[in-house]
Chains A and B, each alone.
Chain A
Amino acid sequence: MSMSIFAVVGYAEPWYIQIVKSLILFAIAVQIVPIVLLAERKLLGRFQHRYGPNRVGPFGFAQPLADIIKLATKEPFRPSTAIGFLYGLAPIISLLTALAAFAIIPFGDVANIFGEEVGLYGIDVGIGVLYVFAFGAVAFYGLMLGGWASGSKYSFLGAMRAAAQLISYEVAMGLSLVGVLMTAGTLSLTQIVEAQSGMWYVVPQFVGFLIFVVSAFAETNRAPFDLPEADAELVAGYNTEYGGAKFASYFFAEYVNILVVSGIAVTMFLGGWLLPFGIDPPGFVDPFVVFAKIFLFVFFFVWIRATLPRLRYDQLMSFGWKVLLPLATLNALVTAIVVVATS
């Protein structure tokens, strides 16, 4: 068997379909982020006895459009202390890695569309979830370089916090998925979903699920782990000095990241496109099932944001290293023993 430097790909279409597919995925991401944005602001309003945005367009549906036009038409500026090249590059790194990670979420099995066999996902690589972590690790350069290249103290503090937080919680996040990977016996996300046809992994891997969700909040810099941004103390953390389209890129990347972690959680724990009780709809329903589950997660993200106050920095660190990491390790250990004992 010849070794390839590339990862094994489960199912690959002809090149032209792959290009079309990537464009469609990009379009979907661009379309969904404003919806999530508006949904978050409206929900947050309801959680606080408010309406949320309801002035632009019917029920405020044009609000994200207005926001985007506002940001895109702003004057591009940068502080005189900024390092120009890196200052411009950092948001692009964040955006690119977020969108690249979005490609791996499976929205369905291989489907027949206009006589072509098309997998309803960006790419089905054999390394599966490692791909997400790889891009998550690169995404951290986006925050770090952005904060550092801004030449501002607040930005730098935010970036340092982001770096420490992402490193700490990525460990727990990775380990929380090990249980699932061992139970499924594969890294490929589509195969993990298919392995859940009997029972979703949220039941046997409940501890892993909890750890994953908590570290997902930390990985996406969301409340209660929004220390890198911490509006009250750091102004806005790593993106303090960003405005206009560059800020929009960061913002966009943040929301794509939320979609990605939600998608991973849905794939790994909530059975992806599978429905419970033996309901088996035709293939074209699968992406909608996945999106419904993702939006359930997004709702949970907003709910948590409306509920929990921000952690103190030492609490964040000790929680990550002293609680989540041992728990995740223990979970992996117990799962390994159970898998070996029952096989």
Chain B
Amino acid sequence: MSTDVTRWIPADDTLVVQRAPQPGGAGGAYRAFGETLRGLKTTMARVFEGPKTISYPEEKVPVYPRFRGRHRLHRFEDTGLEKCVGCSLCAAACPADCIRVVAAENTPEHRVSAGERYAAVYEINLARCIFCGYCEVACPFDAITMGHDYEMSDYNRSDLIFTKEMLLEEPLERTPLRSEGE
């Protein structure tokens, strides 16, 4: 009975490691001196290239059109009615569970949205939002979309809970936009 397995030959697995030249006497000193000068040249070239810093509050990097910033709610442009019908699909899709919707019936005297019902309360807790955009995808009426604003820091956690009125307002154009190919 022969053990006919492919034998492992260690020599096949050895790698040839290329090492840096050993620091020799005079030659090594000469090489070290030359390499130091090369390094000095490299760093000096960085000075002439100039700083690459973007001084943030004064200069801003433009965001892309599909950038997912702070949400906004929309109205119909012709009638001025809210697009949101209070279906809570966004709240169901939200993985961070940061959307709270309380729906109410539209009445002929008090018509807020185009559908049967409307969102009496619509709150997004931006302290919890992870800006995944699932709410935008889930919405059957394109009532909620992600905007381009990313400057949302605040001093108080409760100030980060955005109400329906805040989300419906036209957002401040604080961030520059760039086109898709740019």
Contacts and interface: CB of A to CB of B under 8 A. Distances in A.
18 contacts: A43-B47, A45-B51, A46-B47, A47-B44, A47-B46, A47-B47, A49-B46, A49-B52, A49-B53, A50-B52, A51-B51, A51-B55, A303-B43, A303-B44, A306-B43, A307-B42, A307-B43, A308-B39
B104 interface: no
Nearest to B49: A49
Contacts of B11: none
B53 A51 contact: yes
Interface of A: 43, 45-51, 303-304, 306-308, 323
A157 B36 CA distance: 29
B52 A307 contact: no
Tell me the dominant secondary structure on chain A's binding face.
helix
Q: Which 9 A-B pairs have the closest CB atoms?
A: A49-B52, A307-B43, A307-B39, A46-B47, A306-B43, A51-B51, A47-B43, A51-B53, A307-B40
A51 B52 CA distance: 8
* Interface size of B as a range: 10 to 19
Contacts of B40: 303-304, 307
A306 B51 CA distance: 15
B61 interface: no
Contacts of A51: 51, 53, 55
Contacts of A323: 29
Contacts of A306: 43
Contact of A46 (B36, B39, B51): B51
A45 B36 CA distance: 20
A48 B46 contact: yes
B51 A50 contact: yes
Contacts of B36: 307-308
Interface string B49-63: 111110100000000
A51 to B, nearest CB: 5
A51 B56 CA distance: 13
Nearest to B38: A307
B166 to A, nearest CB: 32
From B40, B43, B53, B55, residue with most partner A Cβ within 10 Å: B43
Interface string B130-160: 0000000000000000000000000000000
Nearest to B29: A323
Nearest to A54: B55
